[in-house]
């Protein structure tokens, strides 16, 4: 501090500025909290309104905001960005980047080992299945939002189509999971194209609103088409998946009896775990492959500049539709898995909340980054469980964590883009240059 | 106009509401020639470009593109991406429109989309990594590499396009257009913002494109040194109409052109010219 007074004054706005800022913050807090905290209202014994004032609490709150504002401003001055001087030495940086490259393989190996390590802990296995489901949904939506840059707020619609496709085909026609899985994907992709057509001309916010509406339409249709979907009661008795025809049941024809081992319900959980892991990895593999194919490059080019795409002879209509269809297909697979895991589905599972959650995973992970999405799903779903001990403060902590993350890493956990092809060096592209897409 | 026009524009008009941007314009571009379209700001040059490349639907008029094999295409009947795909007309933009978050190499790969899409069996052959696809992809990379070499950006192939200096971005956009294997290349002010040395390099590049690839070029340009040096034929527009046409030498001496650029009457321009010589 004392070593560089000149530098200090050049970027420190001075005491008056800090004081003024803190005063404004305190004023805003006063206005906000005067009603929220200052006056406590309650219904009296006869239903009349009783209220009393809590000016002491209010004063404490405003004082806390005032002090906190000064503290934040001081911290910002001490720790704020200082030119381009690298605080971390180069050797540590190279070690970190090496460790960064190891994250994905280590995570993958760990995921494979989860059922072995936590065989007796049903809770962790269930949580793992849940996280992997969202990883898969995130990777599916990543095609639409991250690669093609089309903001889709109704992704849950395809999840629902997949789930109901499997549930209805299996309960009505007795088709097995392995037959229904591709059918669920195809049907969801079909709905993706169907949604794609009317929204082709829309961009940005308008696209988001229409996809949001589409998600709601699907849910309302499911609720109201009682004769087919059972309405709000949902579909029950959805068959469990089989290991290529061998059921995982305690009966004589079950897998346990066949292998001559004692039956345990954990077998099914472990099977489901590896099933969703396989589906998620399939999604990942296909997406990585597609990125290196002309269609994937066209998606990314579409995100970067649609006009330039048209000038290069790229059919933007089919490019957008394939993006919608591909994303929807993976959503459909995930939906079919969800149905077979739960054994029961109802429209309640397919609310806007799910769409928002999956979109948050994609945005948080860094749009277009496969590893980022996986980490974000782990943080969002697993982290949410981690805070369960905090009870009602869980949302608060979680919201705060997200705000902080968005301040430090506005383009998501992994913001940079890896090129799909390179001549000599495979260098990541800074997120400043990569467009977010606008419809 | 004699010989073998690759593009003939016939009585083209474009109106935006009450504004007539292009009025009854007719001109032709010879095969394997560089045709320049010049005129003061707001003359309607870019509108003509947008009509030719399908970004605007002309109010009236016909545009005929004749390929080397004699196959003729009516451009006004095709819309946006089909003009590039079927008629093989490529263009660049006045304000550069690269894909900034993709590398220089990727930009050139995207340009070969249609050819690669066929080679990848509409993605399915590519997904399973068929040998024919691998070969096609390598060929596409080789082509991109050739172009990067020609525009002197081979060293920066793996850099994001948005990180390249301005002049490099201009050249990369031209290379990207050339990677679509066009019959007609439309360049909208390629020398804008370039310094004298870069302009000279650009002239050389355009001449080599015409000479080595037999690509016809249609050029909008304000930089008269470039226009006069490389053009075979010049069309001058003002207020949406053609006011002159001819070789660079003829245009240079045309009083109507000078009047349009100086914003003066024709008589005044003649007087200026006579007093100057």
Task: State the CATH number of the domain containing residue B232.
Answer: 3.40.50.300
Q: Which of B142, B163, B179 is the last residue of a domain?
A: B179
pLDDT at B177: 92
What rounded mean pLDDT belongs to chain A?
A: 83
Residue A310 lies in a domain: yes
Q: How confident is the model at residue B66 (pLDDT cuts 50, 70, 90)?
A: confident
In this structure, the answer to whether residues B4 and B59 fall within a common structural domain is yes
Q: What is the mean pLDDT of residues A270-291?
A: 92
Q: Which domain holds residue B189?
A: 1-88+182-248
Q: What is the mean pLDDT of residues A105-131?
A: 85
Q: Are residues A304 and B99, on separate chains, in Cβ contact within 8 Å?
A: yes
Chain A closest-CA separation from residue B126 CA (Å): 7
C-alpha separations of A261 from A246, A254, A269, A274, B41 in Å: 15, 10, 16, 20, 85
Residue A420 confidence (pLDDT) above 90: no
Residue A371 lies in a domain: no
SS (H, E, C) B222-236: CCHHHHHHHCCEEEE
Q: Are residues A294 and B117, on separate chains, in Cβ contact within 8 Å?
A: yes
In this structure, the answer to whether residues A192 and A70 fall within a common structural domain is no
Residue B198 lies in a domain: yes
In this structure, the answer to whether residues A337 and A208 fall within a common structural domain is yes
Residue B237 lies in a domain: yes
In this structure, the answer to whether residues A316 and A168 fall within a common structural domain is yes
In this structure, the answer to whether residues B160 and B224 fall within a common structural domain is no
Q: Which of A362, A384, A404 is the last residue of a domain?
A: A362
**% of chain A surpassing 90 pLDDT:** 26
β-partners of residue B74 are B64
Q: Are residues A422 and B160, on separate chains, in Cβ contact within 8 Å?
A: no
Q: How confident is the model at residue B277 (pLDDT cuts 50, 70, 90)?
A: very low
Chain A touched by B99 (CB under 8 Å): yes
Q: How confident is the model at residue A89 (pLDDT cuts 50, 70, 90)?
A: low
Residue A246 confidence (pLDDT) above 80: no
In this structure, the answer to whether residues B73 and B154 fall within a common structural domain is no
Q: What is the mean pLDDT of residues A297-301?
A: 92
Chain B touched by A438 (CB under 8 Å): no
- Poorest-confidence range of A8-17, A135-144, A400-409? A8-17
* Nearest C-alpha in A relative to B98: A308
Q: Which residue has the higher pLDDT, A254 or A13?
A: A254
Residue B190 confidence (pLDDT) above 60: yes
Residue A383 lies in a domain: no
Q: Which of A77, A110, A125 is the last residue of a domain?
A: A77
The string over A243-263, giving b where at least 16 C-beta atoms fall within 10 Å of a residue's C-beta and e elsewhere, is eeeebbbeeeebbbeeeeeeb
pLDDT at A183: 93
In this structure, the answer to whether residues B188 and B62 fall within a common structural domain is yes
Q: Which of B179, B196, B217 is the last residue of a domain?
A: B179
Chain B closest-CA separation from residue A426 CA (Å): 7
Q: Which of B82, B105, B163 sits opposite A423 (nearest CB)?
A: B105
Chain A touched by B126 (CB under 8 Å): yes
Residue A387 lies in a domain: no
In this structure, the answer to whether residues B237 and B214 fall within a common structural domain is yes
Q: Which domain holds residue A32?
A: 12-77
Chain A touched by B57 (CB under 8 Å): no
Q: What is the mean pLDDT of residues A89-93?
A: 71
CA atoms of A286 and B249, how far apart (whole Å): 59
Q: How confident is the model at residue A7 (pLDDT cuts 50, 70, 90)?
A: very low
Residue B262 lies in a domain: no
pLDDT at A232: 85
Q: Are residues A308 and B109, on separate chains, in Cβ contact within 8 Å?
A: no
In this structure, the answer to whether residues B188 and B172 fall within a common structural domain is no
pLDDT at A81: 56
- The pLDDT tens digits for A314-344 are 988 889 999 999 999 999 999 999 999 988 9
Separation of first and last alpha carbons in chain A: 48
Residue A155 lies in a domain: yes
pLDDT at B270: 66
- Strand ranges (E), chain B: 5-16, 19-30, 34-38, 60-66, 72-74, 89-91, 184-188, 216-220, 233-238, 241-246
Q: Are residues A435 and B100, on separate chains, in Cβ contact within 8 Å?
A: yes
Residue A403 lies in a domain: no
Q: Which of B85, B105, B163 sits opposite A313 (nearest CB)?
A: B85
pLDDT at A103: 82
On chain B, the residues whose CB falls within 8 A of the CB of A435 are 100-101
Residue A162 confidence (pLDDT) above 80: yes
Chain B closest-CA separation from residue A309 CA (Å): 8
Looking at mean pLDDT, say which of A126-140, A248-262, B13-27, B34-48 comes out highest.
A126-140
Residue A121 lies in a domain: no
When scoring A285, A293, A320 by the number of chain B Cβ atoms within 10 A, the one with the most, hence best to mutate, is A293
Chain A touched by B118 (CB under 8 Å): no
Q: What is the mean pLDDT of residues B262-274?
A: 65
CA atoms of B28 and B180, how far apart (whole Å): 23
Residue A394 confidence (pLDDT) above 80: no
Q: Which of A77, A100, A123 is the last residue of a domain?
A: A77
Chain A touched by B102 (CB under 8 Å): yes
Q: Are residues B180 and A307, on separate chains, in Cβ contact within 8 Å?
A: no
- Nearest CA to A436 out of A206, A150, A211, A154 is that of A150
Q: Which of A315, A423, A425 sits opposite B81 (nearest CB)?
A: A315
Q: Which residue has the higher pLDDT, A119 or B35?
A: B35
In this structure, the answer to whether residues B107 and B175 fall within a common structural domain is yes
Residue A83 confidence (pLDDT) above 60: no
Number of domains in chain A: 2
pLDDT at A102: 81
Number of domains in chain B: 2
Residue B258 lies in a domain: no
Q: Which residue has the higher pLDDT, A256 or B275?
A: A256
Q: Are residues A298 and B141, on separate chains, in Cβ contact within 8 Å?
A: no
Q: Which of A298, A301, A422 sits opposite B158 (nearest CB)?
A: A422
In this structure, the answer to whether residues B36 and B110 fall within a common structural domain is no
Q: Are residues B158 and A426, on separate chains, in Cβ contact within 8 Å?
A: yes
Chain B closest-CA separation from residue A420 CA (Å): 7
In this structure, the answer to whether residues B243 and B161 fall within a common structural domain is no
Chain B touched by A312 (CB under 8 Å): yes
Q: Please give the structure tokens belonging to residue A93.
A: 């940086």
In this structure, the answer to whether residues A191 and A306 fall within a common structural domain is yes
Residue A380 confidence (pLDDT) above 90: no
In this structure, the answer to whether residues B172 and B197 fall within a common structural domain is no
Chain B touched by A293 (CB under 8 Å): yes
In this structure, the answer to whether residues A143 and A55 fall within a common structural domain is no
């Amino acid at each position: 501090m004392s070593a560089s007074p000149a530098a200090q004054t050049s970027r420190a706005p001075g005491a008056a500025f800090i004081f003024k800022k803190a005063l404004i913050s305190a004023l805003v807090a006063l206005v906000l909290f005067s009603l929220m905290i200052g006056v406590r209202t309650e219904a009296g014994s006869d239903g009349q309104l009783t209220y009393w004032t809590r000016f002491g609490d209010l004063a404490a709150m405003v004082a806390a905001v005032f002090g906190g504002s000064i503290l934040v401003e001081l911290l910002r001055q001490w720790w704020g960005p200082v030119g381009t001087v690298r605080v971390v030495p180069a050797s540590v940086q190279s070690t970190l980047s090496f460790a960064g490259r190891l994250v994905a393989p280590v995570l993958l190996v760990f995921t494979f080992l989860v059922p072995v390590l936590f065989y007796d802990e049903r809770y962790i296995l269930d949580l793992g299945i849940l996280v992997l489901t969202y990883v898969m949904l995130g990777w599916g939506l990543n095609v639409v939002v991250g690669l093609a840059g089309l903001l889709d707020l109704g992704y849950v619609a395809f999840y629902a189509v997949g789930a109901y496709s499997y549930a209805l085909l299996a309960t009505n026609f007795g088709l097995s999971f392995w037959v229904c899985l591709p059918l669920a994907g195809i049907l969801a992709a079909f709905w993706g194209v169907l949604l794609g057509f009317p929204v082709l001309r829309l961009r940005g916010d308008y696209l988001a609103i229409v996809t949001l509406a589409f998600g709601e339409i699907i849910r309302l249709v499911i609720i109201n088409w009682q004769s087919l979907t059972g309405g709000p009661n949902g579909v029950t008795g959805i068959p469990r998946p089989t290991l290529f025809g061998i059921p995982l049941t305690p009966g004589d024809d079950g897998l346990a009896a066949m292998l001559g081992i004692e039956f345990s319900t954990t077998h099914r959980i472990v099977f489901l775990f590896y099933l969703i892991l396989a589906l998620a990895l399939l999604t990942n593999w296909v997406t990585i492959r597609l990125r290196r194919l002309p269609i994937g490059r066209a998606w990314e080019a579409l995100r970067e500049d649609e006009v330039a795409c048209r000038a290069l002879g790229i059919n933007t209509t089919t490019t957008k539709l394939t993006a919608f269809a591909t994303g929807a297909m993976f959503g459909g697979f995930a939906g079919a898995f969800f149905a077979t895991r739960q054994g029961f589905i109802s429209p309640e599972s397919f609310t806007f909340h799910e769409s928002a959650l999956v979109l948050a995973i994609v945005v948080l992970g860094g749009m277009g980054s496969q590893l980022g999405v996986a980490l974000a799903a782990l943080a969002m779903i697993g982290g949410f469980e981690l805070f369960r001990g905090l009870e009602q403060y869980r949302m608060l902590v979680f919201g705060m964590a997200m705000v902080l993350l968005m301040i430090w890493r506005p383009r998501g956990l992994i913001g940079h883009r890896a090129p799909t092809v390179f001549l000599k060096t495979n260098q990541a592209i800074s997120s400043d240059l990569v467009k977010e897409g606008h419809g | 106009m004699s010989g073998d026009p690759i593009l003939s524009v016939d009585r083209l008009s474009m109106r935006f509401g009450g504004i007539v941007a292009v009025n009854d314009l007719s001109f032709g571009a010879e095969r394997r020639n560089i045709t320049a379209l010049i005129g003061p700001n707001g003359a309607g040059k870019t509108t003509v470009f947008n009509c030719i490349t399908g970004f605007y639907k002309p109010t009236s008029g016909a545009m005929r593109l004749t390929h080397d094999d004699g196959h003729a295409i009516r451009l006004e009947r095709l819309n946006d991406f089909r003009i590039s795909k079927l008629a093989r007309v490529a263009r660049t933009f006045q304000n550069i429109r690269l894909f900034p978050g993709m590398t220089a190499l990727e930009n050139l790969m995207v340009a070969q989309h249609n050819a690669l899409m066929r080679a990848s069996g509409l993605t399915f052959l590519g997904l399973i990594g068929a040998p024919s696809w691998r070969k096609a992809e390598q060929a596409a990379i080789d082509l991109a590499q050739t172009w990067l070499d020609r525009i002197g950006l081979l060293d920066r192939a793996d850099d994001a396009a948005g990180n390249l200096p301005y002049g490099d971005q201009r050249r990369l956009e031209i290379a990207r257009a050339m990677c679509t294997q066009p019959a007609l290349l439309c360049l909208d002010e390629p020398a804008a913002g370039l310094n004298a040395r870069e302009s000279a390099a650009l002239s050389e590049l355009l001449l080599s494109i015409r000479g080595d690839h037999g690509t016809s070029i249609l050029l909008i340009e304000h930089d008269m040194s470039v226009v006069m040096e490389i053009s075979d034929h010049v069309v001058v527009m003002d207020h949406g109409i053609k006011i002159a046409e001819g070789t660079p030498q003829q245009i240079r001496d045309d009083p109507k052109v000078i009047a349009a650029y100086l914003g003066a009457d024709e008589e005044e321009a003649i007087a200026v010219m006579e007093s100057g010589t």
